Amino acid sequence: MMELKFLNVGILTWITFLPVLGMIVVLLLPKNNKTAMRWTSLGVTILQMALSVVIFQYFNRGLAGINTVDGMQFKEFIPWIDVQSLAILGRLKIDYFLGIDGISVSMVMLTALVSFVATIASWNIEKSVKGFFALLLLLNTGMMGVFVSLDFFLFYIFWEVMLLPMYFLIGVWGGPRREYAAIKFFIYTLFGSVLMLLAMLALYFSVSVIDPSTGMKMHTFNMLAMMNPANFDPASLLGGLGTSMRYYAYVALFIGFAIKVPIFPFHTWLPDAHVEAPTAISVILAGVLLKMGTYGLMRIAFPIFPDAAIYFAYPLAFVGFINIIYGALCAMAQTDFKKLIAYSSVSHMGIVILGMAAFNSQGMVGAIFQMFNHGTITAMLFLIVGVLYDRAHTRGLNDFGGLMNKMPKYSAVMVIAFFAALGLPSMSGFVSEAFVFLGAFQTYRYLTIASAFGIVLTAGYMLWTLQRVFLGTLPEKWNGLTDINTRELISLVPLAVIVIFLGIYPMPIINLMNTSANALVEFVRSGAGMALVGR
């Protein structure tokens, strides 16, 4: 078992809490030393990236994880809260339990990468720099924590921790309607959190394990324990299999995660939040936050409720289809560049949903890979919008034209991002989309055909946007626009390289995830008592 420690602290703790250290440094820095604050934040994200490279290097591709403690890697387990008797709750025990497997490892790497890019994109923030970077770092910890927690309560804490900085980052540093967007985001997510909390408590009281120290039965928030049907007290609320209570609990969890993804009809906070958020925050929002929803489904909802997951598989695939087509059509009708990209995210996340709902190997790998690819590609798209908005202070698609000649370097990066977004082969998005369709078709034949029509719509709105903004002749008022600068290139080029590299040779990332994806599919299918059809 691989253990990586520094100063006797595990690597996952380091990668999660480095930003908090950075935040403390930023807060202690003198108010006018903005440069130091920026470099501190950047340094933290660079260190995180270095750590994620170490994780990539030492991650054991053969271990599945999912429901087995032994399969989890870089584990850290410390009893955290242990209250012996707490009124009716009895003994309350929450553990600091971290670990990653093939489902989370790519998300950890993505979080480090996107945080780095977002920090560079925040370089020209001038309004209360200290607050901004402090919150950005706190947000970073929240995101990282969600992906490494294996204790449901801890997961929930990180989930909520991330909410607060996001609220302020949009609400203070955002556009004209920032307060509305921030509140909408906050309340919407909080609403989902409440449902998640209810499901979590129901699970807590239904699951008991034997405490090795006392030999007594006790409740637990350990996710892995929740995945074992034998740990459910038969008489408890969620005991048994296929009961309506279990379905309600699954739906509650699902809505909590669906809001984050966002799944239709819970998606309307997204366009508003994106339009108002500063570039870096949009990048994080689309690049990482949306994945928490789909990650939550994979990590918690599916393996804990395999019966419900299979029972609701078709509806899940169906909302995936709705997301793909509805998101693409809504994107087509937009005239605001950023809103268009926001809706394209709705469409592209639908592909993740469809892939997961297939519950087979290709679909699941496709879904996780699509989460990673959407993170990099959409981050590029939002950066591209940001570059333009910084210069022109407008995002109207019809206000532009002919930028190709005026901003050639910018346009070159844009071409890569746009064609990656429309799923051109040789770009990473194609591989994951193809996998999702290949997988989903075996489970839902006609629904997948209908969903695949999204590739035509996506090509339509992407190329139409490209034409309106970049081709044609330059309106005279934009004669003063300057091409992309070095700082902006530094944020975009690594993403472009990754997108193309993984499009040509995706194995390095797929290798990380396929053992776990296969195991998850098998676990859910067998857990649901479903005959394993030859798929």
Partner 1 sequence: MTQSLLLQLSVAVLFLPLVSFLILIFFGKKLARQSDVIGIFLNGAALALSVTILYAKVNFFHDELLNFTFTWISLGNVTLIGPLKFDLGIMIDNLTAVMLVVVTLISFLVNLFSSKYMEGDIRFSRYYANLGLFSFSMLGIVIANNFLSMYIFWELVGLSSYLLIGHWYEKKSASDASKKAFVVNRVGDFGFLIGILVLWANYHTLTYEGVYAAIGSGMIPFQSAWWMTASGLLIFCGAVGKSAQFPLHVWLPDAMEGPTPVSALIHAATMVAAGVYLIARTFPMLTADALMVIAYVGAITAFISATIAIAQTDIKKVLAYSTVSQLGYMVMGLGVGAFSAGTMHLVTHAAFKAGLFLGAGSVIHAMHNALHHAHDHHTDAQDIMNMGGLRKKMPITFWTFVMFTLAISGVPLTSGFLSKDEILAGTLAYGSLTGHMLIPIIGFLVAGLTAFYMFRIVILAFMGDHKDPSRLEHVHESPLAMTLPLMLLAALSFFAFYSLNPIGASSGWFFHAIERPATVVPLDMAAASTEIFEEALHHAHNTAMLFSLLVAGTGILLSFLTYHWKKISADAVAESMAPVHKFLLNKWYFDELYDATAVAGVKGIAALFAWFDGKIVDGIVNGAGSVTKMGAVVSGKFDSIVVDGFVNLTATVAGTFGLVLRKVQTGRVQSYIVFAILGIVVLFFFYRAV
Residues at the site binding partner 1, with contacts judged by CB under 8 A: 184, 187-188, 264-265, 267-269, 326, 329-330, 332-334, 361-362, 365, 402, 404-405, 419, 424-426, 430-431, 434, 437-438, 441-442, 448-449, 452-453, 455-457, 459-460, 463-464, 466-467, 471-473, 506-507, 510, 514-515, 517-518, 522, 532-535
3-class DSSP assignment, residue 346: helix
Output the smallest distance, CB 92 to partner 1, in A: 32
Which tokens belong to 106? 């790519």
CA distance 113 to 133: 17
Q: Which of 75, 73, 36 is nearest to 56 (CA)?
A: 73
What is the 8-class DSSP label of residue 396? B
Output the smallest distance, CB 429 to partner 1, in A: 12
3-class DSSP assignment, residue 182: helix
3-class DSSP assignment, residue 98: strand
Sort 62 into a burial class: Cβ within 10 Å, 0-12 / 13-18 / 19+: exposed
Q: Which is nearer to partner 1, 223 or 310 (CB)?
A: 310
Output the smallest distance, CB 2 to partner 1, in A: 20
Output the smallest distance, CB 518 to partner 1, in A: 6
What is the 8-class DSSP label of residue 286? I
What is the 8-class DSSP label of residue 360? S
3-class DSSP assignment, residue 92: strand
What is the 8-class DSSP label of residue 237? T
Q: Which is nearer to partner 1, 394 or 426 (CB)?
A: 426
Sort 102 into a burial class: Cβ within 10 Å, 0-12 / 13-18 / 19+: buried
Q: Which is nearer to partner 1, 130 or 468 (CB)?
A: 468
Q: Which is nearer to partner 1, 405 or 485 (CB)?
A: 405
Output the smallest distance, CB 306 to partner 1, in A: 15
Output the smallest distance, CB 88 to partner 1, in A: 29
Output the smallest distance, CB 365 to partner 1, in A: 6
Q: Which is nearer to partner 1, 154 or 427 (CB)?
A: 427
Q: Which is nearer to partner 1, 76 or 276 (CB)?
A: 276
Q: Which is nearer to partner 1, 19 or 71 (CB)?
A: 71
**Any residues with CB less than 8 A from the CB of 451 and at least 6 apart, and which?**
320, 321, 324, 325, 350, 351, 354, 437, 440
CA distance 200 to 204: 6
Q: Which is nearer to partner 1, 318 or 419 (CB)?
A: 419
Which tokens belong to 63? 């271990």
Output the smallest distance, CB 378 to partner 1, in A: 19
Cβ atoms < 10 Å from Cβ of 530: 15
Output the smallest distance, CB 510 to partner 1, in A: 6
Which tokens belong to 453? 């029509």
Q: Is 111:140 a contact under the CB 8 Å cutoff?
A: yes
What is the 8-class DSSP label of residue 229? G
Q: Which is nearer to partner 1, 87 or 532 (CB)?
A: 532
